[in-house]
Amino acid sequence: MGKRIRVQRRGRGAPTFRASTHKRIAPAKYPNLSPDIRDGVIHGQVLRLMHEPGRGSPLALIELEDGRRYYSVIPEGIHEGQIIELGGRASIKVGNVLPIGRIPEGTIVCNIELSPGDGGKLAKSSGSYATVVSHTPEGTIIKLPSGKTKYVNDLCLATIGVVSAAGRTEKPFLKAGAKFHWMKAKGHKYPRTRGRAMIAAVHPYGSSKRSARKVTTVSRHAPPGQKVGLIAAKSTGRKKRRKK
């Protein structure tokens, strides 16, 4: 009787291969603001900064004047106890939240909504930001971290500043255990064992016989147990120089 390889087991979606989302604190999103608040201003206080497993940037617990609380990613320079402003009449300062249509051109923003009321979708990872390019009758043009430009509704909320924890990816893990726990929080397998180092029962490339090697290219339509290696590769190996 055959044995399912790791690719087949992972595809089933068992808890072993899923991220430990029960350790997450809360989604990072803006609260629902009424039209009066969107045109005016409401104040909030940063109560606490915390770390959420699987998230690269700190998460902030913010309490509004009306007693509501919400969690959000924060830009650099924000500290516990700081007062921030939300609304169309908020001042242009780091940490304040405004409709993107009222933010001046050239301002650096983060945690941008794709549609009004969705809570924030763009530029939320650590160190990321977008730039307000121009305002048009169709909407506001922003430049994303990838360099592409995009139209956004003027009523979409955005936070002024750069998401905190910039340079996180430049810091080395130093220990394999630290890398293991970081990958486990995201549901990734670490360390990864080469298929050639396995036995033939658990991987198509596994075998102690060096002469019995299989072709590494595989069809795009292959089943999960067979779909390992170079999937639908146009070419393999080193590129040959073209003759002029």
Structural domains of the chain, count: 2
Q: Which domain holds residue 80?
A: 22-166
Conformational region of residue 41, where left means phi above 0, alpha means psi within -120 to 50, and beta covers everything else:
beta
What mean pLDDT do residues 55-84 have?
A: 95
Q: In CATH, what number is assigned to the domain containing residue 194?
A: 4.10.950.10
135-149 pLDDT, tens digit per residue, is 999 999 999 999 999
pTM to 2 decimal places = 0.81
Q: Are residues 68 and 90 in the same domain?
A: yes
38 domain-assigned: yes
Mind listing the pLDDT tens digit for each residue in 57-69? 999 999 999 999 9
Query: Worst-scoring range by mean pLDDT, 46-55, 75-84, 146-155, 218-227?
Result: 218-227
210 or 176, greater pLDDT? 176
The pLDDT value recorded for residue 1 is 46
Residues 6+ apart with CB under 8 A from 206: 195, 196, 197, 198, 199, 200
Last residue of a domain, one of 116, 137, 166: 166
The CATH number of the domain holding residue 143 is 2.30.30.30
What percent of the chain is predicted at pLDDT more than 90? Answer: 67
Of 166, 194, 217, the one marking the end of a domain is 166
Per-residue pLDDT tens over the stretch 105-123: 999 999 999 999 999 999 9
Phi-psi map region of 91: left, alpha, beta (phi>0 left; psi -120 to 50 alpha): beta
Same-domain pairing of 67 and 130? yes
Boundary of a domain, candidates 148, 166, 184:
166
The 10s digit of each residue's pLDDT in 155-169 is 999 999 999 999 999
Report CA dihedral (75, 77, 40, 91) to the nearest 10 degrees.
-120
Residue 61 lies in a domain: yes
